[in-house]
Structure 1
Amino acid sequence: MTLDQLRIFVAVAERGHMTKAAALLGISQSAASAAIRALEQQHGVQLFNRVGRNIELAQTGRRFLPEAKAVLERAAAASNVLEDVSQTVTGSLSIAASQTIASYWLPRRLASFHEAYPAVRLSVTIGNTRQVETHVLDGTADFGLVEGRTESDILRRAKVDIDRLKLVVATSHPEIADIAPGRPDIRELRWIIREGGSGTREVLEDLARREEISLAELQIFLVLPSNEAIRQAVEAGAGATIISELVVAGAIAEGSLRSVPIDLPKRDFAIITHRDRQASLAQMALKAHLSEKAMASA
């Protein structure tokens, strides 16, 4: 039994899907299947039931899962002790980041971190805020970066930067009536928004509450899974959206989008970590690096 086999088993068990687990771990589906098969054959057990194309934990697998996770956590703790003793920042870091952060804020910062700490291997998983929170909670990510609110009380949250938001429409979009200065009538707009669980969608939900309007009263024309798709749909004249300035600054400068004056609060970019997991030197170094970069650009 190897640590790699345990990691693969835990990933498959938590996702209930061989291909998704393999993609998360950066291995082929056949390699993941072979590792599970070898683990079962070595010990003469069946860890999963194969039901058609689906896979689910067998009774033995359910009993084994907490033990496998405990071994992986102890192995990570042992690695952290060795790092602390040597004071050498090495190892690997898995980061889960929301789309805005992963696409526009994080890449340059990871590049400069790699220059400072070349022995640390980095991997990034992209999802919405709720998905990032789940990755940190189940241990598939060492820490997360989000712009939306988090729900779990066993996560630590630390601000690393501030994001500015814009209400944007295509340059050719008709003028929008104001209820009051800086308060466009949001019920008159056709909205293009992100999926539930997204921090970007959360901003519109908060605005609707502030205006004492339910989301059902808004003309939600289109729900899309990425910021880029939303930007392109708005540029094509399909409607309006509220989105990070990082996503639309270039389009506004080029003249394909225009910003509608509205009073929107700034939102935090935040690191989230699990309260009960010990941070490695590499994690502490990256957290410090991201915070320092944010202060330098403020």
Structure 2
Amino acid sequence: MTLDQLRIFVAVAERGHMTKAAELLGISQSAASAAIRALEEQHGVHLFNRVGRNIELAQTGHRFLPEAKAVLERAAAARNVLEHVSQTVAGSLSIAASLTIASYWLPRRLASFHEAYPAVRLSVTIGNTRQVEASVLDGTADLGLVEGRTESDLLRRVKVDTDRLMLVVASSHPEIAETAPGRPDITGLRWIIREGGSGTREVLEDLARREGISLADLRIFLVLPSNEAVRQAVEAGAGATIISELVVGRAVAEGSLRAVPIELPKRDFAMITHRDRQASLAQMALKAHLAAEANGTT
């Protein structure tokens, strides 16, 4: 039994899906299946029931899950002790980041972090805010970076930057009616939005509540899984969206998109970690590095 086998088992058990667990861990579906099969064969047990295309924990799997998670947590704690004793910032760091952060904000910061701490191995998985939160909670990620709200009180949350949001339409879009100066009639727009659990969708939900309506009252034309797909659909004239300036700033400057005047609150980019897990030296170094970047001191 190896730590890698335990990590794969926990990821599959938490998600109930082999392919999704493999994507989260950055391995192939066949490698994940082989690890589970080897674990079962080594100990002559049956950990999962296969139900159609999905899998669910068998009784033995339910009993084994808390023990597997406990072993992984102890292994992480042991690694942290050795790092603290040696005071060497090394080892591996698993980061889960929401899409806007991972695509537009994080790469340059990780590059400069690697220059400062070349002995730290970094891996990044991408999901929406809810998926990142789940990864930190179940231990498949050492830390998360999100722009949306988190729900669990088991998480520690630290602001690392702010983000400006924009309401944008295609440059050829007709003028938008206003209910008051600076308040466009959002019920008259055709909306292109991200999937449930994303930070940008959350902002539109908040705006709708501010206007005394729900998301269901809006004309949702299209739901897409990525910022790039949303931007391209809006540029093609399919409708309006609320999205980070990091994603559409260049398109607005070049004239393919038009920003609609509206008061939108800035949102925080935040690092989330599990309150019950001791931070490694690498985690503390990354947190300090991101804070220094935000303050312009690196």
Q: Common fold, TM-score beyond 0.5?
A: yes
Deviation at 1:55, TM superposition (A): 2.4
Unaligned runs of 5+ in 1: none
Q: In 2, Cα distance between the equivalents of 1:103 and 1:114?
A: 17
Residues 71-113 of structure 1 deviation map (CA, whole Å, 9 limit, x = unaligned): 1110110000000000001111111111111111001001111
Q: Which residue in 1 is equivalent to 2:117?
A: 117
Unaligned runs of 5+ in 2: none
Deviation at 1:52, TM superposition (A): 4.3
Query: Are 2:231 and 1:231 equivalent residues in the alignment?
Result: yes
TM-score of the superposed pair, with normalisation by structure 1: 0.96
Q: In 2, Cα distance between the equivalents of 1:266 and 1:24?
A: 29
The one-letter amino acid paired with 1:258 is R
Deviation at 1:295, TM superposition (A): 1.1
Deviation at 1:120, TM superposition (A): 0.8
Q: 4+ runs of 1 displaced by more than 6 Å?
A: none
Q: Which residue in 2 is equivalent to 1:203?
A: 203
Q: Aligned pair in 2 of structure 1 residues 91, 167: CA closer, same or farther (>3 Å)?
A: same
8 A Cα contact 2:25 2:125, kept in partner = no
Query: Are 2:86 and 1:86 equivalent residues in the alignment?
Result: yes
Q: In 2, Cα distance between the equivalents of 1:270 and 1:254?
A: 30
Matches within 5 A, 1:175-254: 175-254=175-254
- The range that moved more, 29-38 or 160-169, is 29-38
State the secondary structure of the residue aligned to 1:27. coil
Residues 241-290 of structure 1 deviation map (CA, whole Å, 9 limit, x = unaligned): 11111110110111100111111111111111111111100011111111
Q: Which residue in 2 is equivalent to 1:27?
A: 27
Q: Aligned pair in 2 of structure 1 residues 224, 23: CA closer, same or farther (>3 Å)?
A: closer
Q: In 2, Cα distance between the equivalents of 1:217 and 1:51?
A: 37
8 A Cα contact 2:129 2:147, kept in partner = yes
Q: Which residue in 1 is equivalent to 2:147?
A: 147
Q: Aligned pair in 2 of structure 1 residues 82, 245: CA closer, same or farther (>3 Å)?
A: same
Q: How many corresponding residue pairs? A: 298
Residues 161-193 of structure 1 deviation map (CA, whole Å, 9 limit, x = unaligned): 110011111111111122222111111111111
The one-letter amino acid paired with 2:11 is A
Deviation at 1:15, TM superposition (A): 2.1
The one-letter amino acid paired with 1:296 is G
8 A Cα contact 2:25 2:140, kept in partner = no
Q: Which residue in 1 is equivalent to 2:134?
A: 134
8 A Cα contact 2:46 2:61, kept in partner = yes
Residues 11-57 of structure 1 deviation map (CA, whole Å, 9 limit, x = unaligned): 22222222332332233333333322222222222222234443222
Q: Aligned pair in 2 of structure 1 residues 217, 24: CA closer, same or farther (>3 Å)?
A: closer
State the secondary structure of the residue aligned to 1:62. helix
Q: In 2, Cα distance between the equivalents of 1:26 and 1:179?
A: 48
Give the percent of matched residue pairs that are identical in Structure 1 and Structure 2: 88
CA RMSD of aligned residues (A): 1.6
Q: Aligned pair in 2 of structure 1 residues 79, 186: CA closer, same or farther (>3 Å)?
A: same
